Chain A
């Protein structure tokens, strides 16, 4: 049996699952120290189900805690970045594209060292141990304990980052070190940004993951626990302590994965209707399709594997404005229970239209009885159009695709969606996030440039797949269950020699006994 927990900004949800079965679910308010909310949710779950905690195989937690810390610029540690790449890259030092306030909060300390590789694996310049040692000593003198290390083309060759880390560790045995190659892909600034953010979250990670552990211990849960990451896969507690940044955007991922599970579909469009926005995403092989473009978090560009979701201004609280008719993007948001007509307010919202049309039964239907049939139908038309366009934009092929609707605002989706083979509104949709966490798998990824002048395309793909699989197993996946879920090839422009960038992602089930 597994427990999935989603620690959101407002609510902490939890589900207990036995294999494919949902035994119990609960929703409690999130608490400032996080663990109290988790304890409360777990207590509810145990009380509701009467489960013997000794029979649990694992606890999976999804959290927005670390994203929020960066967005709010709170609880971040002073961090130093060592970049290996001299004499290249000098004109754009680390953190050059950060918002000033965030750079100040983490101190903006950086060091540029020799090293780095070319796209084809040649060294840019030789690794200089003495230089790294000197930097480490300086970092020590400044009393900085969090260090990010980046090296040019480290996804092609990690050795310089590893050698630098070994030296830093000799000088500063207690330092928290983050290597850029462990958390990002090609794109130095973005990968380095992620590494620095990771480094500055390390103490918070130790505290938070420690809090999770304590909460579980209080309930005498001895099963291993895992944290879910942005690509819908899991990391174990120790790995998560080292890589908190990988939890960024795990929320939407979990909700989509939960939708996949609840509907039993591996390839589908997921529509998550909230109070203010509707997020439309694509499930491919049971995982959210990943965004191709850079994603900004708290004003910092990263190249995380974020789910590619399209957000439109349509939700249960969206304003309906007449003459000319407009639905959203303004919304009453969480104030819907006081401002919408059905709740006695004076603002016409999409929820009021749904109630007036007899599609939903919330609040006082009498308060919207006066709404004209023609208006109801016009608003429904508009909503249908908005959803149709969003779905159409996110589709990956012209073929009909099933559409799964989750989220509190799903009452708005009443009509057929064009291009949909069927529309599914599964039960338990309110805890889709926690379910997504509970069912997550272990993943591994590789992203490198191969020269097809030196090897065949088949050989390059095979190498990339092997690397991704090896990484998944190293992260705790059962080798027998490994599946390649994503292969992407991008030929490099303006360059002879057939250099091609290959990205591969492999996933597998959690290996037993870990």
Chain B
């Protein structure tokens, strides 16, 4: 067990931006929420799964919807607490701890707000080890854990609880309810026991995000090669160095999809990288050949500062290092790939783990 304080939250948020692989929403508002809750209610405890009892109930809390709306209509705070507590009531069981459903983007820090308000600990694990755009895309799904009971709440006091036949249905219903609630809703989902999570979650991800954040912060002040420092901290591989050229964006079925072209520089001069994204970065081709795809993580780091660049902020002229980070092993199982592999996102290519291409 260790204590999560203000500094830890800021680091987690910064690291979560890298694990967001270009999406997941800007952690800033989530960071402010978590920081304020800790200022008001005191720091919280972070446990590993091993430190808890096997039958303890763990529930993730999160924000669902458009991050762009969240920067304008911030949550009430009671809404997310309501969503969380209603699950315990529905299951008629006490909840032992809160967890992040995704370690990438703003949902890494949002649950810390709930933990601080309810004086509950956080658990050092998540359901992705990165960010993904849809509800069913969590490691829980691979291990047959239901997303439901799944609760949604808004600031007006509306509450919805659903129990669905599979996690894709949850996504369908929840997305339309979120739009009704103002393009944003607070949710609690995937209740599971510690025993289940030992198998089904990606462990250590909150501390991992924190370490990445610390590294970026340090790299900013020291003047050595920040990209290298960050890449080493995340255990990633350098895939490319280049300058962003054309960025083509389109909206399809509610997702911001697009393609960016990068011209190589330095040792990559003469090569062209094509990056596909759908909220998150999904696939990288170099000179037409697939090099990295989901579920491995693709991050674009500013070549000078090592700071991650989101899909929304990508613009002509940015000089970036493209790095690939091996995803959690769970995503590499047949079920994991079926759920979030390249083919699910429409890329007709076999998934090859990034280490196989770039060697250890």
Contacts and interface: CB of A to CB of B under 8 A. Distances in A.
A72 interface: no
Contacts, number: 147
Contacts of B69: 119, 492, 495
A501 B156 CA distance: 25
A508 to B, nearest CB: 27
B319 A393 contact: yes
B318 interface: yes
Interface in A462-514: 490-501
B173 interface: no
B78 interface: yes
A91 B313 contact: no
B315 A492 contact: no
Contacts of B28: 294
A188 B73 CA distance: 7
Instruction: Tell which of B76, B243, B263 has the most Cβ of chain A within 10 Å.
Output: B76
B317 A494 contact: no
A116 interface: yes
B77 A90 contact: yes
B51 interface: no
Contact of B254 (A389, A393, A449, A496): A496
Interface residues of A, number: 48
B254 A500 contact: no
B74 A492 contact: no
B68 A188 contact: no
A33 interface: no
A91 B66 contact: no
Nearest to A389: B319
Interface string A135-177: 0000000000000000011000000000000000000000000
B312 A494 contact: no
A506 to B, nearest CB: 22
A188 B183 contact: no
Contact of A116 (B23, B73, B176): B73
A92 B74 contact: yes
A119 B74 contact: no
Nearest to A489: B249
A267 interface: no
A87 interface: yes
B317 A88 contact: no
Contacts of B279: 493-494
Given A88-B155, A497-B254, A186 B73 contact: no
Select the residue from A153, A398, A490, A495 with max chain B CB neighbours within 10 A.
Answer: A495
Interface in B313-352: 313, 315-319
Contact of A91 (B64, B113, B256, B263): B113
A498 B33 CA distance: 28
A492 B73 contact: no
Interface string A367-410: 00000000000000000000001001111111000000000000
A94 to B, nearest CB: 11
Interface string B18-39: 0000010100110011001100
B319 A392 contact: yes
A498 B176 CA distance: 13
Given A495-B65, A497-B179, A85 B73 contact: yes
A392 B318 CA distance: 9
Contacts of A494: 25, 64-67, 133, 254-255, 279
Q: Which of B25, B71, B73 has the most CB of A within 10 A?
A: B73
A45 interface: no
A394 B243 CA distance: 11
B65 A124 contact: no
B157 to A, nearest CB: 8
12 contacts: A87-B155, A90-B155, A91-B113, A92-B33, A92-B75, A97-B32, A118-B73, A119-B69, A124-B155, A186-B72, A449-B68, A491-B256
